[in-house]
Amino acid sequence: MESIQQALKRMPNSKNILHQFQRIKEEVLSDKAILQFIQAHPTIPEAELDRNITRLFEFRNERNNCLRCTSLETCPNLMKGYKPQLFQERNQIHICYNKCEKKMANEERSRQQTLIKSLYVPKDILSASFETLHQDNRSRITAIAKAFEFASTANPGESGKGLYFHGQFGVGKTYIMGAVANLLAERNIASMLVYTPDFFRELKSGIHDGSYIEKLEIVKNASVLILDDLGAETMSSWIRDDILGVILQHRMLEKLPTLYTSNYDFELLEEHLAYSQKGGVEQLKSKRIMERIRHFAEPVYIEGENRRG
């Protein structure tokens, strides 16, 4: 195969074209990465370099794009998220493309996000991380430390211990739970974050056709379950005994951790669970539920201003 220079000599206006080619060749062969490649492969013939100036030019441009890259979204390379690499085979120059660090990190984040299932929870909660949490008062610092310890050490199936975050509306309880879910995902532990009022309403609507059973089974068996805003639902005997009671009993037996957020402390939640829509008061059944929560979830109070205001 003839070199590019030989082919250019036969073209009209060949002197100008050859001059431009020579300039590009000098620029390409003076590139630091290409020089290192040539020095590492001294057996490559000069003619092979001439034949591959275009390929080396492509490598230089794509690699420079990588060096200037600020994000995967703005990657200008021909293959977005891939960086070029030169290699020699039978004294010939070739380019292969490998995933860059940003693409691999993005794919890992996507894989981790598949471990976090959510029902009726805002998307911004699912992007929470411990690095973005505000530590502006003592109770939040304590709560964040407890949450981080749980997310770093949780071992579903071996320990069913969880946390019960309570405090006023809007102090950031759910956002901390989002950070817990993401750190668990980094450890390859699946979690489910459930907004309990909407979840209970959906289960109730599925009573007649039996569709609630499948969803109930999924929640019962989540490796780590986060029940968000427990106590905000309209309580009924069916929700308390046949849904919440069944979930907690199964998770207790299987040693699966359950975490909670609520506006109520344990005492107020027990009162809430004792009342039903029909106006009855069932203290004993409420105490049975609370016994499962108290024994397996450490209460953590969070105070502060309403961050949603």
Worst-scoring range by mean pLDDT, 19-28, 56-65, 218-227, 228-237? 19-28
pLDDT tops 50 at residue 280: yes
- How far is it, in rounded angstroms, from Cα 117 to Cα 226? 10
Mean pLDDT over residues 26-33, rounded?
Answer: 88
pLDDT for the residue numbered 25: 82
Mean pLDDT over residues 82-86, rounded?
Answer: 94
- Computed over every residue of the chain, the mean pLDDT equals 87
pLDDT for the residue numbered 174: 93
pLDDT for the residue numbered 23: 82
Residue (of 137, 160, 182, 148) closest to 256 by Cα position: 160
Per-residue pLDDT reduced to its tens digit, 126-180:
889 999 888 888 989 999 999 999 999 999 999 999 999 999 987 889 999 999 9
- DSSP symbol at 143: H
Report the chain's terminal Cα–Cα distance, integer Å.
72
pLDDT for the residue numbered 8: 45
pLDDT tops 90 at residue 307: no
Delineate the domains of the chain, giving CATH numbers in brackets. 4-103 (no CATH), 114-302 (3.40.50.300)
Full-model pTM: 0.69
List CB contacts of 81: < 8 A, sequence separation 6 or more: 72, 75, 99, 100, 102, 103, 106
